[in-house]
């Protein structure tokens, strides 16, 4: 594959890297594991800024166009929490399962439907400083208990609208077609293609 179609995924999350590689099938995807360690700035509450900064830092550090995303689970009954802090919800001592259980504890007693959405902003940055962003979301509800073994993060307790299964019970094709990340990177892809064509 041509080097112009090479992208670095600015994430250390292997599940996220695999998803992005499945979505951006027309590109050669490199992970951060292929490069020297990179220090990223602390993330804040702005999805777009977080994604853009991560992509820009990776692009400058590796010398290759880099993609990143920032995403979160926004729960209506919790006034949008955990939101952009979803990956750090409950503090640094919790893993995916611990964060999921903490969320269910907070929602104890909240009647169904417990509406929520996954939201994602995807960014691509080039070593020259240019960047593009796109977003996507997936509406659904929070289940009473985890279900399924696919996916990662909050997927086992999130049921997308129109489905009777948790996100973690969907196969990869189903998930990529409706997920917040699938939609965000699906919208970002033509912007990357446009940049490649204009650079020729």
DSSP, collapsed to helix, strand or coil, labels residue 120 as: strand
DSSP H or E segment with residue 9: strand 6-9
Whether the CB-CB separation of 103 and 96 falls below 8 Å is answered with no
Gap between the Cα atoms of 28 and 30, Å rounded: 7
Selection from 198, 149, 200 nearest residue 175 by Cα: 149
Catalytic residue among 39, 69, 70, 95: 70
Which residues lie below 8 Å from residue 27, measured CB to CB, with a gap of 6+? Answer: 1, 5, 6, 7, 192
- In the residue annotation, 70 being an active-site residue is answered as yes
d(CA 108, CA 23): 35
156 phi and psi angles, rounded to 5 deg = -70, -15
Q: What does the buried/exposed string (b/e) look like for 74-91 if buried means 16 or more CB atoms within 10 Å of the residue's CB?
A: bbebbeebbbbebbebbe
End-to-end CA distance of the chain: 16
Residues marked as catalytic:
70
């Amino acid at each position: 594959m041509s080097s112009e179609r090479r992208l670095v995924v600015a994430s250390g999350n292997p599940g996220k890297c695999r998803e992005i590689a499945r979505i951006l099938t027309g590109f050669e995807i490199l992970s951060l594991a292929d490069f020297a360690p990179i220090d990223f700035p602390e993330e804040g509450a702005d999805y777009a800024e977080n994604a853009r900064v991560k992509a820009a830092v990776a692009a400058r550090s590796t010398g290759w166009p880099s993609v990143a995303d920032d995403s979160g689970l926004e729960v209506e009954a919790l006034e949008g929490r955990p939101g952009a802090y979803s990956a750090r919800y409950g503090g640094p001592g919790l893993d995916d399962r611990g964060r999921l259980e903490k969320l269910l504890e907070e929602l104890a007693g909240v009647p169904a439907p417990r509406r929520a959405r996954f939201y994602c902003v995807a960014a691509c940055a080039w070593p020259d400083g240019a960047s593009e962003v796109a977003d996507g979301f997936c509406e659904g509800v929070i289940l009473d208990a985890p279900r399924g073994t696919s996916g990662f993060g909050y997927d086992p307790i999130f049921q997308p609208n129109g489905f009777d299964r948790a996100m973690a019970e969907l196969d990869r094709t189903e998930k990529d077609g409706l997920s917040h990340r699938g939609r965000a990177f699906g919208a970002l892809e033509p912007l990357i293609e446009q940049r490649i064509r204009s650079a020729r």
